[in-house]
Amino acid sequence: MSRTTIHDIAKELNTTAATVSRALNNHPSISSATKEVVRKAAQKLNYRQNRAASSLRSGKTYVIGVIIPSAEISFFGSVIHGIEKVAKSQGYSVLLFQTNESYEDEAQGIQTLLQSNVDGIIASIAKETTRYDHFQEVKNRKIPLILFDRAIDELDVPAVVIDDYKGAYMATEHLIRQGYQRIAHISGPQHIQIFHERLRGYVDALKAYNYKVDGDLITYGKVSIDSGRTCTEALLNLPKRPDAIFAVEDFTALGALQAIKETPWNKPGQIGLVGFANEAFSAYITPGLTTVDQQTALMGQEAANIFMNLRQEEPTLVDLPQKIILDPVLVVRQSSLRKKISRRREE
């Protein structure tokens, strides 16, 4: 059986191949209603767009490249779903590149995506990355670049982030309202803006409630399960140990939880714990982890929407970067709830 062409679709709909082509390529001159009819006919006739030919004509590949630090962090998987949802609706495909948090890999990823002639790049920056020449190259080539979550203001490109400061403030405030007295924070590398912002939110929440900000209770980890565990062990060995911990993200919190559970003198519910990111596992562990949800699907959709707008405009619009700041959502589970009974006993 020969492959369905746009001519077959045009015949079916009694219209011209040019109209079908424009509709399938989402051309602004075609109405939404017509696009819908053409897409349905294309689907019915099992038509697969010959992107190679189409891209020869338009100079577009209809591919968006997405750079993520790790495919094993469900946060990124969830943002990708948001990106894909918008991309698919506009006839774009999404190719992913995983940096494993390495600068070298990230630079390689940018090269690989540029070489694949992607129409735009949506990226979240690796932990290790402290210089941005590779991203500058994307800008120089006038290819739309949008950052999400781990963004860098100095790059001066559009970004979708959540309000990390506010999320951390909410998390710390929640622990204060539960009645915890000594609330520690395990932070992350400070050159990454989001971790710095979360530290600020923690400090400001303490101040707002007239809590002393105790430098002993602030540690800097490496954003991993192992690091969360090590930092927590150190915190729990302090002469004046904390009764609650706000961890910079959920993997750190998971390590903290393991260390807390193994502490001989600890009773369940004695040490409060809050994470950040609402990783998939945080609902499944015992106790369930209180954490800050980052509206991941929305983040991905907004990032893809920015790309869809940029591609229609003159590249110079990149000079006016847009920043979308989403609101964090506190998800309260068991890990942060102070047990009233054990509290009375202590008093």
What distance in Å separates the CA atoms of residue 274 and residue 287, rounded to the nearest whole number? 11
DSSP secondary structure string, 120-138? EEEE---TT----HHHHHH
Q: Which of residues 220-259 bind a copy of itself (CB under 8 A)?
A: 254
**Nearer Cβ to a copy of itself, position 173 or 279?**
279
Residue 177 CA: distances (Å) to CA of 80, 209, 248: 35, 10, 19
Q: Binding residue for a copy of itself (CB under 8 A) from 15, 112, 270, 322?
A: 112
76 scored as a contact of a copy of itself (CB under 8 A) = yes
Long-range Cβ contact pairs of 211-216 (< 8 A, separation 24 or more): 211/176, 211/183, 214/182, 216/240
**Nearer Cβ to a copy of itself, position 134 or 198?**
134
What pairs with residue 94 in β-bridges? 64
Q: Binding residue for a copy of itself (CB under 8 A) from 15, 26, 58, 74?
A: 74
For CA atoms 306, 308, 314, 315, the dihedral sign is positive
Angle at 178 between CA 173 and CA 181, to 5 degrees: 80
What distance in Å separates the CA atoms of residue 312 and residue 329, rounded to the nearest whole number? 33
Q: Binding residue for a copy of itself (CB under 8 A) from 13, 30, 37, 96?
A: 96
Task: Read off the DSSP letter of residue 290.
Answer: B
What distance in Å separates the CA atoms of residue 308 and residue 257, rounded to the nearest whole number? 42
Token pair belonging to 251:
């993997």
Q: Binding residue for a copy of itself (CB under 8 A) from 11, 35, 60, 81?
A: 81
Q: Binding residue for a copy of itself (CB under 8 A) from 4, 26, 34, 100?
A: 100
304 scored as a contact of a copy of itself (CB under 8 A) = no
Collect all residues with Cβ–Cβ distance below 8 Å to 70 and sequence separation of at least 6: 76, 98, 99, 100, 101
334 scored as a contact of a copy of itself (CB under 8 A) = no
Q: Binding residue for a copy of itself (CB under 8 A) from 38, 107, 176, 184?
A: 107
Residue 238 CA: distances (Å) to CA of 182, 217, 232, 243: 12, 9, 10, 11
Closest CA relative to residue 74, chosen from 281, 287, 291, 299: 281
Q: Binding residue for a copy of itself (CB under 8 A) from 9, 21, 84, 303?
A: 84
89 scored as a contact of a copy of itself (CB under 8 A) = no
CB of 137 to a copy of itself, least distance (A): 10
26 scored as a contact of a copy of itself (CB under 8 A) = no
CB of 328 to a copy of itself, least distance (A): 21
Token pair belonging to 33:
């209603």
Q: What is the per-residue binding string for a copy of itself in 33-62, x denoting contact by CB under 8 A?
A: ---------------xx-xx--x-----x-
80 scored as a contact of a copy of itself (CB under 8 A) = yes
**Nearer Cβ to a copy of itself, position 95 or 329?**
95
CB of 199 to a copy of itself, least distance (A): 26
φ, ψ (nearest 5 deg) of residue 170:
-60, -40
Q: What is the per-residue binding string for a copy of itself in 257-286, x denoting contact by CB under 8 A?
A: -----------------------xx--xxx
CB of 80 to a copy of itself, least distance (A): 6
Token pair belonging to 11:
């015949």
**Nearer Cβ to a copy of itself, position 155 or 253?**
253
**Nearer Cβ to a copy of itself, position 3 or 212?**
3
111 scored as a contact of a copy of itself (CB under 8 A) = yes
**Residue the block writes with tokens 């577009």:** 60
Task: Read off the DSSP letter of residue 283.
Answer: G
Yes or no: say if 132 and 152 are a contact pair by the CB < 8 Å rule. yes
Summarize as ranges the residues that interact with a copy of itself (CB under 8 A). 48-49, 51-52, 55, 61, 63, 70-72, 74, 76-78, 80-81, 84, 88, 93-98, 100, 105, 107-109, 111-113, 115-117, 254, 280-281, 284-286
